[in-house]
Structure formats: structure tokens, C-alpha cells
Structure 1
Amino acid sequence: MSNDYKVTIFIEGNVYSLSLYKSLNITLKGTKNKSEPTSYSNWNLPFFGKNVSIKFTVKCSDDLGHLVNIKLDKYWSFPFQKPWYHEKVVVVSKLGTVYTFPIHHSISEDKEHFFREGKAMLPQKETITEVISLREKELNNQKEIYGWKAFIAGMPHCLKAEVLPLDETFSLYKDVQLLIKSYVMQNWKEDSFFGSQFLNGLNPMMIRRIESLPDKFPVKNHMVFPDGNDTLGSEMEKGNIFLCDYSILDGVEANTINDKQQYLTAPLVLLHKNHNDEMMPIAIQLKQKPGEDNPIFLPSDSELDWLLAKLYVRSADFNLHELNSHLLRTHLLAEVFAVALKRNLPRVHPVFKILIRHTRYTLQINLNARQSLISENGVFTKFTASGGNGMVTILERSLSNLTYKSLCIPDDIKERGLEDVKNFHYRDDGLKLWDIMHSFVKDTLSYYYKDDSDVENDKELQEWIQEIFEHGFLMMQVFLQSSGIPQKFKTKQELFKFVTMVMFTCSAQHAAVNSGQLDFYGWMPNGPSTMEEPPPTKKNTVDEATILKTLPDMETIKSFAETKCLFSPQISLPDFKRKYFTENIPCENILNFQKNLRKLSKKIQKRNEGLDLPYTYLDPEKVENSVSI
């Protein structure tokens, strides 16, 4: 009796990668038996089209039982052809049982490739010896491919590779244009715009509500409330006083650019939420230690004194934003999450299936950054105040101050006392996104983890979090700091929160600190990469010539304007074209997740219609689902 199986191979690619001859063998393996190898090729594929399929029959004399895996091998191709990317394989038995094998892998070499049937499975639930062995073999192979190394001593580790695995690469380039938004050009001098950027600009991570002034910032009532209607004490009691403290930059060795010494300040910025709910700067001190040579600049000072003080703040914010909020807290951590995921969780693991889409192209963009941006001759190293030795110092200090709470937006907003600040779109959109993500993660992982013991007994999961801690955060022990990052999972709730944090960091948080760079930094005075003169030690010494002499020179500006950057085709949060789950309930959760994301997107777009400066960076339809640019 014949036991034929109808096989469909789904191929992702284009005419250039499909048109020349390629072939593979497929072997079906079931609980009772396995098929003979059957060859298939792309010879009869349509010449045009991006996503195509190959259909054929695998003939078997015996019943294979329940299909558990497939093997692809005997790869052959015309020389110098692009890899053959397989999306999935669908097999239908004689009785109509459908088996789906997610592949999502480029095949370009003649070796055995094993793929499991799509149902996600925790390691402790496995019962078939051969399948357990294949699971271990997959992880051992991944650990050989995805090794660790230290790019900068004391920093989170990165991938040990000069040439990336095929599926981690992209090769599209674009020029970074100076897309100067008219609003930024027209309003960069305005105090209201200056203050609003601490909430809805590129770096909403600095501002916090305060109940008392630090001793190092001796602001007096008459300085900031000269009319006497308000006082610092009364406004702090009302929750209207905020501080941005750039102490991480204190004493950092500033760069030398074109043989000229550069300058980087460590300012303190006092902000007041006024009666119109505007966040207004009311005092700026450019160095941490108070003294006669460190004046406190005020809006009542001369226009140019006050403007120059704000320019030093914008330059300090640029440097700390790029190294701390952007590079460390998104790019470097995302790479730790990505490498640990590939090394410790097999494709069949439910956490892998959730997070793999949030690691796409991260290794490529980070490798490019290490080669062209933060390398010895990289653009950032050569043309910013914090380039060179300063960069290492800032990264070390930033890592020592990093906490788990600061990576989880609900905890971070609460800890900084920002729950009720009006017109705070980063917070409003970010919290909604976090909740939507957490709900999806909880509903999906609860399908596999029935109780806390399932989490504790998942060896692969525990090794994953342990590697993240060891290669991302263990070096913090040098600073005798505890980040609060978990080293193991004891409960489902701990797991749900951590997976949500990884998803949020690699998508929404990166979008918040990355996507607006051309908008806010395209107009150089709003984000000078360096300052070429020391900060003023006295008031009433600034004129227009002083400001022009202090801002970056044309060669520095031009170097950033001509920067090339890698980018990937935009894949937004609601995009699930690559399907990793096959069970009904997780697939239904994905549909609900997409629905909630699109609903939030519409609300954000409607709100933005009424804003002079729309906040679009956390619109789910615009958020890249991974750190890929």
C-alpha cells in the first residue's frame, strides 16, 4: 500500500536568486519510519515573482507515523549563486494530516539541515530520543557559529565574527540626507522647544522630577522666580520642577579633531512645568562643581549668553544620547540578546519563536558600526567630542548606572516621577506599546508554561538568561553595582516581563532614540557633535562670533552629512510575514496582537493631527521590529 506525502516547498527570494539551477534532497522522518531521499529543484519555478513554491510527491511504501522532522541535504547549485532561502515546508499525508515545518533559513552548502515540525516544545517535554539529540546538535552547531568576544573591554560582549552568517546580512545602502525639518530650524532657539525635547525628543531618558535641589546646583528663588509669585519650594511641592543631570560626562577626556582640542561639558539643567504645561528651562550650570568660574545661566541673561548655554547642553545631550541611550541601551544590548538567543534556544522553542523577528539584521548593523562608526578611524570616533578615550569612559559609566528598571518603561517612568507629566508622548505611546507586548507575550507563553515549575525546569531558558547576564551585565560587578537583571527565572511572571523588555528594547525603545535623528540633528545647532571652545566662565562675554567659533567646523559637519549607513527594508511591528508558530492559539494571539497594534497606530495618528510637532516614533506602523538601522 502506497503512503504518499504531498510536499510543498515555499521559497522566498527573487528572480536573481531563483533563476539558475539549484537542487536539494528532502527526507521525511516519522515516529515509525523515514522516507527515501527525494530530490527537488528550482528548474520549473516561474521566472518572475518574489515568493514561489515547489510541489511534488514523496512516495513511501511504509507508514511513517507522525512526522517529527525533515532533513534537507545534497545541496547543489551553479557556482557563485545566491543562497536558496526556504521559508517553510508543508507536508500533507494520505489521510489529510497537515504538517508545517518553519525553515526561515538560507541553504548554500552541502550538509545535513534538520528542521522540526512547527509545534513549539519546551525541552523537558521532549520524549523522542532522536529528537532530543537533534535539538542538542542544533544548539551545539549554533554555539560554534555564534561565539562571543569583547570589542571594548568591560562592555557587553558582541558576536565573534568578521563574516556574518548568511541570514544575518543585508546589503542595501542609502545616503543619510540632512532632512531638515522646518519646525526644528524655526524653533531651535525657543525655550519651549528646548524643554520639550527632554520629553519628546531623541533622548527622553534624562529628565526626572525632583523634590529638592542637589547641593552642587545652588539655584536661588530670585534667580528663577524674580516676580515672587512662585518659589522653588512651592513648585517642587506641586511636582513642577525637573532636573537633567549629565554627571556621567564630568571629567571625560574630550577629543582632538583636526589637531584642535574639543570640549564637552557635564551640565545641570533645571526645568519648570509652567501654567501652560510647557516644560521650560529656568537655569543651566555647565559644570558639576559650583564656583565663581561656573555661572548659573538664566533666561533673564543676555540672549546670546543663554543661547550658548543651551548649545552646550544640546551638545552634551547629543554625545550622551548616542553612546548611552542609543548605542549601549539598544544596539549593544540587542546584540547580547540576539547572540544568546541563537546559542541557547533552538528554533522549536517558544521564546525563540517570539523573539527571533526582533533580532533580524541586528548583527549586521552592529558589525557595520564597529567597522565604520566607532572604530579607530570611524566617523563617530573622529568627529565627536566624546570620540576616542572619552567614548570608553562614557560607556563604562553608563553601564555602571544601568538598571533593569530603567529598561522597563513602566518602572522607569515611575522611578523618575513622570507618571502625570502632560504632553509626554514618549511615555504615553511607550506604555501602551509595552502593555500590548506584555499581553501578547503572556498569552502566548502561558500556552506552553502551565505553571512556574515549567519555567524553572526549562534548562535551555535558564542557560539563555544566564548567558545574557554573563555577557551583557556581569562586568558591572567591577563597579560593585547591582543592575537587578535576573540571572535565572523562577516564575512565569518574571519570564513574561523579561521577554517583553527584550521585545520593547529591540523595537520600540530603539525607534524612540533612533528614528528622529535626521529630524532633530539634521539642523546642526540643535545637536552639535562637539564644541570647539571651552564653556564661558563669566556672563556677558558672548557675541555672535563667539557662538560661530564654538560650533563645529564645516569639515566636521560635512563628515556627518556624507555618512553612509546600512539599512534593511522596513519591517514594522505588526508585520508577521515570516511565520514561526503553527498552533492555533499562538496564531490567534498574533492576530490579536496585530489588531491592537494597528488600533494604537490609528489613535497616535489622530492625536498627531492636532500637534504642531507630531510625535511619530512610537507609531507601531513606523516602529522597526528590530535594531536594524
Structure 2
Amino acid sequence: METYQVTVYHSKETNSCTLNNIYIKLRGEKGTSEQNWLSGNECYVGTVYLLLTCIVQIICKCCLDPFLKISPEDNWFPKKIEVKAPNGKIYIFPMYTWITDFQIHCFREGQGLSLTVNEDCTPLGKKKRSEELEQRKEAYRWKESERGLPDHVEARDPSQLPLDAQFTLRKYLGFGGVAVLDYIWTWFETFSEHYVKNNWRDDDFFGYQFLNGLNPMLIKCIKALPDNFHVTDGMISQYCKGNLDDEIKKGNIFLCDYKLLDGVETQEIHKTKQYLAAPLVLLYKTPKDKLVPIAIQLQQKPAADNPIFLPSDSQYDWLLAKIYVRSAEFNLHQLNFHLLRTHLLAEVFAVSLLRNLPMVHPLYKLLIPHTRYTLNVNVLARNYLISPNGFAASGGDGMYQILKRSLSSLTYTSLCIHDDIKERGMENIPNFYYRDDGCRLWDILHSPYQNFMTTFCSPQYDFGGWMPNLPSTMQCPPPTEKGKATEETIMAALPNKYTTCKAIETLFLLTQQYSDFVKLGDYPEEHFTEEKPRELIKKFQEDLRKLSEKIKERNKILPVPYEYLDPENVPNSVTI
């Protein structure tokens, strides 16, 4: 009798093994083995013809506790099964899924060609594909989102997600058990102490952050001033020695417009009314290639009580205006560019993938690593961040206002970095490291061997850990006249200690690299077992390594190294 050697590979995650009895059958086009018990890691099964359409059937049966006489919950997470045929050929069955019941589970052989629905033409293959998708559609149900936001997975709590979508125990412990204060004080002694804390007041650093800081997605080069921003030549003479129109024609004038925040309803925090500006910021590229602010209007509608603040104003008037801009930056970035464009949109793709593509499909194999933890972290975000009791000015209803406006203004091209850079006229401005690194990374991702969405390591905590540089809210309304600001009025306007602590703690948690971090290009789960995809993955990883080397070499000469799009720092999925 011909026999087939079966080897089971288990995950190293805590609680991934099982005490239950596991049985296996091998099914091919021309036969099916008997049901065999998996004793330890290996077993032998009887005669069966293993072809490219071979299927492994896994059957779990409960193991009664000999003392308690009950069947304990004992889930199992196998990585893969290898089957060695009598002729020596090895067939690999990728699994990477939790088995939580006592039903029959079928897994397809992975070394044959990845099969699309048209290529999977055997009756057995079509049947198993259909059954798999029906089970997934039941497990991952759509829920129509409240208040016009993108639809999402139906789960009120992470525990209601399938185990495959939940944090591992190691992730939960890392996410919730970090010693936040210890890390915060360590950070104060490094990045903040040496740069942000010492430079946050400077116009150079204020302008630099629009290119390489928290949110490089808003700034654009303009061809004309907005109709609601009445800046004159005389106002900007301190920086621009020539005519404003001439500087615009030269491509030296840039705008950041926070119109999405106009009229947003703000909340109370500890019974104190909070405030949010909707600024227009005009910036100038100097002959020395520095980007500096030259005019700030804190509200959208021109009026006598809405002055245009200038660098020539008193130091406190100008500083206070910049602080209101930075607070607007916090709110717009967190809700539009971070929550909506990164988390909520990634969830739409993740749920669609899980509901529509079986494990054998090449797109499933390609995309599934880039959905890791996304559903779990998004459920947490909906429960704790999009809530009435937040730490930002735009909490409660204001959050939904910003999210809805941001969604309605979202375009496909704004998600494609080359198109977005061109539409904003940002192709030629120097020292724009987000553009340089991002476009190179995009080109690698969209080569013939890769095509997927990912996110990058956010600099939120680096720039927001020093609160005056990025206050989450303001406790006083924006100034309506010049000459009134003092150090005392600035301190009164900044958020209180409680709000500051909550904001910094959240930024810290959102930007840490946890122990189970998987960088872009690493694939701990081997879904592709064919030779050609493996070669392409190696080429992809090599391209990422070369890009990382170039970024590190450039950063050696920068006063503030730009490390956020170094592939070694980019996560493989939206995980925090």
C-alpha cells in the first residue's frame, strides 16, 4: 500500500495548539483516503491519488477532560500541512486560520497555480470554493454605517469578530499594557527635547511640518489667492521682496486651507467649551528653499473681527495664530487623513476581500497579509475614539461632521500619490521627503509583482508629544483682533492637563512599534507556495531593502531625519 507522510506545522502564538483529537483525510480527483488520526505532528494515510486539485479535510473532535468530564473550549491554529507523496514530491496546504468547532474543514493544495473562479473548473473545487465563501459571508457581515460613513464589519466589540480577525494574546498585552509614562519621559529626553520642544515656535519649523510632519497631504502650490483670503503685497513685504502675483507665477506661494473645519460643532470637556479654527495659511518658499508662513486667517469668512495675522505682528499674536493652525491640523489629520483614509477605507477592502475571494485565489493570497488586525483595531476605534467623550475639540457630533465632509470630498486620485502630488502642484518644491520617499515606495508597490494598499508609520507622536506644537483642542475662541495676545492668554487657550495627557497617551499608543510588528514585505504566513510568486516576493523585498538604504544614507545629512517611509518602519497592514 502506498502511504503519504503528513506533517503539521503549528503557530508559535500562545494558545494556538489544541488537546482535541484531530483527524485528516486526503482527497484527490481519483480517490479519498480513510480518516486518520493525527498523532503528534505526523501520520500516514492510505492510498489516494494526489493531484493539483487535492484537498485536505480536517476534522476536530473534542477531548473530554478526564477529571471534570466536560469538553473545554480548545481552539486550534495550524499554520500549514505538508504531505509527502510516495514519489517524494511535497504538497503544501496553507491554513493560517483558527479552527473553533467540530465540523469538517477543507483546505486546498497551494503549490499548483493559484486558481481564479474560471480556472477552478473541477466540480469538487467549485463546491469547496462556494462553501468557503458562504461561511465567510456569514462570519463577516456588512453593517451599514451610521451617519453616512463607510460601511464596516458587523461587530460591536472585538470579541464578536471571528478569531482570525482578532488580536492575538501577545498583541492585546502589548497594546494595552505598555508603560506609557515611562516611554513618554524617555521620548521627552530624545526627539522632543532636542528638536520639537526647542523649535516649535520657529517659522521655519512651522513650514517644514506641512511637508514632512504629521500631515503632508494638505499643502498645495496655488495659481491665485482664494477669494476669501485678502492678502496684499504690503502684508508680506517682510518675506517677499517682490510682487505677490509674481511670486505666485514663479511657483513660490503655497496654501493650506482648513475649510472642512468651518462651522464644525465643538464639544465641552469637563464642562468647559472647546474651540476650533478653520484657518487659511499662506506660505512662501524663500530663495534658500525654506518654506515659511507669511499670512494666517483663522476663519473662512473675511471680516473686521477676522484679521489676517502676519509675522510682523507682535510675537504673541503671531505665535497664537500658529497654535490655532496646529490645533486645526490635529483635528483634520486625525479624522480625515488618519481615521477615514487609513482605517475606515482599509476596512472596506478587507471585508470585501474576506467575503468574496477564497483562499486559493491569487488576489486573496496577495492581499490577506495586508488586512492583519485591521478589523479589530477599527472596532476599537469606533468604540473609543469616535465617541462623545473625546479629547479633541471636534468630539461628538463635530467628529461626524468632519468625517462626512471629508468623505464627500474624497477622490480616487487623492489616494494615488503621483496623481495627488501633481494635482497639488508639489512636484518641484525641494526638501519634500514625503513626496520623494512615497513616490519611490509607490512605484515598488505597483510593480508587476505587487499591488496593494498599505499605511506607513505615522509621525503623530514625534510632532505631537510636545503639546504646544499640536494641541488637540483650544479652550478659548480664536482672537478677533490684534495686540491682545500675551503669554498668559496663550496658556489659557491651550488644553488643560487632563486633556493633554489623554491626547499624548493616545498619540503614543497609535505610533508605537509593538513586539509583533511585521514590516512591509515580510510574510510570516506563506500563502504563496509556488516558485514564481516566491521569486517575485524576493525581488520585492530586495527593492525595499535598496530603498531603505537610500533613505538611511540621505538621512545622515538631515537635521531632522525623515524615517517614516523607510520600508523598515512601514507596517504591512493597518494595525494601530
* Corresponding residue of 1:37: 35
Taking the aligned partners of 1:230 and 1:69, their CA distance within structure 2 comes to: 75
Q: Deviations over 1:405-462 (max 9, x none)?
A: 00111111111111111111111111111100111xx236xxxxxxxxxxxxxxxxxx
Equivalent of 1:224, from 236, 256, 274?
A: 236
1:309-328 to structure 2, matched below 5 A, reads 309-328=321-340
1:445-484 to structure 2, matched below 5 A, reads none
* Corresponding residue of 1:100: 92
Deviation, structure 1 residue 371: 1.9
Q: Deviations over 1:90-147 (max 9, x none)?
A: 1121112221111111223211111111131110112201110110111111000001
1:107-122 to structure 2, matched below 5 A, reads 107-118=99-110, 119=112, 120-122=114-116
Q: Deviations over 1:151-194 (max 9, x none)?
A: 43210011102311112122222244433322111111011111
Equivalent of 1:206, from 193, 214, 218?
A: 218
Deviation, structure 1 residue 80: 4.7
* Corresponding residue of 2:75: 83
User: Would you say the 8 A contact 1:574–1:621 is kept in 2?
Assistant: no
Deviation, structure 1 residue 74: 2.5
Amino acid of the structure 1 residue aligned with 2:82 = V
User: Would you say the 8 A contact 1:152–1:392 is kept in 2?
Assistant: no
Equivalent of 2:472, from 519, 525, 529?
A: 529
Equivalent of 2:383, from 366, 371, 375?
A: 371
Amino acid of the structure 1 residue aligned with 2:10 = I
User: Would you say the 8 A contact 1:222–1:228 is kept in 2?
Assistant: no
User: Would you say the 8 A contact 2:346–2:374 is kept in 1?
Assistant: yes
Deviation, structure 1 residue 201: 0.6
User: Would you say the 8 A contact 2:19–2:74 is kept in 1?
Assistant: no
Matched, 1:507 2:450: no
> Counterpart of 1:615 in 2: which secondary structure?
coil
* Corresponding residue of 1:470: none
Amino acid of the structure 2 residue aligned with 1:432 = R
**TM-score by structure 1 length?**
0.84
1:299-310 to structure 2, matched below 5 A, reads 299-310=311-322
Q: Deviations over 1:245-295 (max 9, x none)?
A: 000000111111111111111000001111111111110000001111111
Deviation, structure 1 residue 41: 4.3
User: Would you say the 8 A contact 1:21–1:41 is kept in 2?
Assistant: no
Instruction: Between 413-422 and 9-18, report the one with greater CA deviation.
Output: 9-18
Q: Deviations over 1:484-530 (max 9, x none)?
A: xxxxxxxxxxxxxxxx3xx33x333xx3xxx2121111111111111
* Corresponding residue of 1:560: 503
Matched, 1:606 2:549: no
> Counterpart of 2:369 in 1: which secondary structure?
helix
Equivalent of 1:443, from 426, 446, 449?
A: 449
1:14-53 to structure 2, matched below 5 A, reads 14=13, 17-18=16-17, 21-42=19-40
Deviation, structure 1 residue 372: 2.0
* Corresponding residue of 1:449: none
User: Would you say the 8 A contact 1:175–1:562 is kept in 2?
Assistant: no
Instruction: Between 84-93 and 240-249, report the one with greater CA deviation.
Output: 84-93
1:565-580 to structure 2, matched below 5 A, reads 565=509, 569-580=516-527
Q: Deviations over 1:33-54 (max 9, x none)?
A: 1111111144xxxxxxxxxxx2
Taking the aligned partners of 1:358 and 1:68, their CA distance within structure 2 comes to: 27
Matched, 1:624 2:571: yes
Amino acid of the structure 2 residue aligned with 1:37 = Q
* Corresponding residue of 1:3: 2
Taking the aligned partners of 2:554 and 2:73, their CA distance within structure 1 comes to: 49
> Counterpart of 1:143 in 2: which secondary structure?
helix
User: Would you say the 8 A contact 2:53–2:125 is kept in 1?
Assistant: no
Taking the aligned partners of 1:521 and 1:238, their CA distance within structure 2 comes to: 33
Equivalent of 1:69, from 55, 66, 71?
A: 55
> Counterpart of 2:425 in 1: which secondary structure?
coil
1:220-299 to structure 2, matched below 5 A, reads 220-226=232-238, 229-299=241-311
Q: Deviations over 1:223-246 (max 9, x none)?
A: 112487322111111111100000
Deviation, structure 1 residue 561: 4.2
Query: Quick one: higher RCO (CA 8 Å, sep 6+), 1 or 2?
Result: 1
> Counterpart of 1:206 in 2: which secondary structure?
coil
Matched, 1:148 2:142: yes
Deviation, structure 1 residue 605: 1.1
* Corresponding residue of 2:68: none
* Corresponding residue of 1:411: 419
Equivalent of 1:57, from 33, 44, 62?
A: 44
Amino acid of the structure 1 residue aligned with 2:315 = E
User: Would you say the 8 A contact 2:24–2:36 is kept in 1?
Assistant: yes
> Counterpart of 1:272 in 2: which secondary structure?
strand
Amino acid of the structure 2 residue aligned with 1:23 = N
Q: What percentage of residue pairs aligned between the two structures are identical?
A: 50
User: Would you say the 8 A contact 1:34–1:64 is kept in 2?
Assistant: no
Matched, 1:165 2:162: yes
Taking the aligned partners of 1:144 and 1:576, their CA distance within structure 2 comes to: 27
**TM-score by structure 2 length?**
0.91
Deviation, structure 1 residue 602: 1.1
Q: Deviations over 1:374-421 (max 9, x none)?
A: 234xxxx43210001100100010001000000111111111111111
Q: Against the structure 1 CA distance between its residues 80 and 614, is the aligned structure 2 distance closer, same or farther, given a 3 Å change threshold? A: farther
Taking the aligned partners of 2:230 and 2:556, their CA distance within structure 1 comes to: 41
Taking the aligned partners of 1:324 and 1:41, their CA distance within structure 2 comes to: 53
> Counterpart of 1:125 in 2: which secondary structure?
coil
Q: Against the structure 1 CA distance between its residues 585 and 227, is the aligned structure 2 distance closer, same or farther, given a 3 Å change threshold? A: closer
Q: Against the structure 1 CA distance between its residues 136 and 6, is the aligned structure 2 distance closer, same or farther, given a 3 Å change threshold? A: same
Q: Against the structure 1 CA distance between its residues 41 and 519, is the aligned structure 2 distance closer, same or farther, given a 3 Å change threshold? A: farther
Taking the aligned partners of 1:57 and 1:103, their CA distance within structure 2 comes to: 19
> Counterpart of 1:153 in 2: which secondary structure?
helix
| Number of residue pairs the alignment of both structures matches | 546
> Counterpart of 1:104 in 2: which secondary structure?
coil
User: Would you say the 8 A contact 1:31–1:64 is kept in 2?
Assistant: yes
User: Would you say the 8 A contact 2:10–2:16 is kept in 1?
Assistant: no
Unaligned ranges ≥5, structure 2: 66-70
Taking the aligned partners of 1:65 and 1:308, their CA distance within structure 2 comes to: 72
Taking the aligned partners of 1:80 and 1:151, their CA distance within structure 2 comes to: 37
Q: Against the structure 1 CA distance between its residues 548 and 383, is the aligned structure 2 distance closer, same or farther, given a 3 Å change threshold? A: same
